[in-house]
Amino acid sequence: MDSTPLVAIVDDDEAACEAVAALVRSFGYRVAEFHSASAFLRSGSLARTACLIVDMRMPGMTGLDLYRHLRGGGTPVPTIIMTAHATEASRTSALEAGVRCYLPKPVRPDALLACIRSAMAHRA
């Protein structure tokens, strides 16, 4: 079995999801891509996910809603939220809820790598 940590990426924008996935793979991590929070929850990947990168705004369950759902269900995953609609209010809400990082899109590779490393260091 591969011991490389799994990073799950959840973004309803297929092109953005693929771009972030390619970047995360270039950092040396395994990646699983999902185009909705519900697809991630149904996938069975939660137990293997070491870090979750999720878009803030998605139809249905938002990225922050997904983080709160996992945390409330007793299965918190270190989470990085990315958004093309960054505001100070949403950043504050996300960080106060406990997400590891809040990144504006397009994400800077160095910032994303630093956030993933921080998430891996603080995973439960």
Residues 79-113 pLDDT 10s? 999 999 999 999 999 999 999 999 999 999 999 99
Residue 99 lies inside a defined structural domain of this protein: yes
Residue closest to 98 by CA, chosen among 61, 72, 121, 59: 72
* Domain housing 17: 6-121
The confidence score (pLDDT) of residue 3 equals 83
State the pTM of this model: 0.95
Residue 1 lies inside a defined structural domain of this protein: no
Residue closest to 61 by CA, chosen among 71, 49, 73, 69: 69
The tens place of each residue's pLDDT in the chain, 124 residues long, gives 578 899 999 999 999 999 999 999 999 999 999 999 999 999 999 999 999 999 999 999 999 999 999 999 999 999 999 999 999 999 999 999 999 999 999 999 999 999 999 999 976 4
Residue 54 lies inside a defined structural domain of this protein: yes
Our count of domains for the chain comes to 1
Close Cβ partners of 16 (under 8 Å, ≥ 6 residues apart): 55, 105
Is-contact 85 32, C-beta < 8 A?
no
The confidence score (pLDDT) of residue 4 equals 86
Residue with tokens 């790598």, as numbered in its chain: 113
For residue 77, the domain's CATH number is 3.40.50.2300
